[in-house]
Amino acid sequence: MILALWLIAAYGMTQIIVYGSIFKSTRDSIEKMGNSGIPVISPLFNFIHGIVSCMMCCSTWVGFFMGTFIYSIWGNDMGLSTVPAIFFDGMLASGGVWGINAIVEWYENK
């Protein structure tokens, strides 16, 4: 049960970051800084823009965040030590969110 709630929370957080109107100005600002051409800043912001515009990429980082600050599925339930648990929480979130998103997109296209 906790796994299902954790994955739904990861999906919701990722959905808001990638598609939510509340973060649209932030995503646009990140993209603008990425296109600025400033040598050190531009590649960093291009990388960040890639993360916040991709469901699979963003959900990995959401999983890292949730595993660190909210609840670690792999640490608390599976007994892994902290660093591997956070890594696998990111991988779990990425796969779970990708699966949920694939189902949602399938229904949207019907």
pLDDT tens for 23-37 read 999 999 999 999 999
pLDDT tens for 93-110 read 999 999 999 999 999 998
pLDDT of the residue at 110:
81
DSSP the chain: -HHHHHHHHHHHHHHHHHH-GGGHHHHHHHHHHHTS--TTHHHHHHHHHHHHT-HHHHHHHHHHHIIIII--IIIIIS---HHHHHHHHHHHHHHHHHHHHHHHHHHHT-
pLDDT tens for 11-69 read 999 999 999 999 999 999 999 999 999 999 999 999 999 999 999 999 999 999 999 99
**pTM for the model:** 0.91
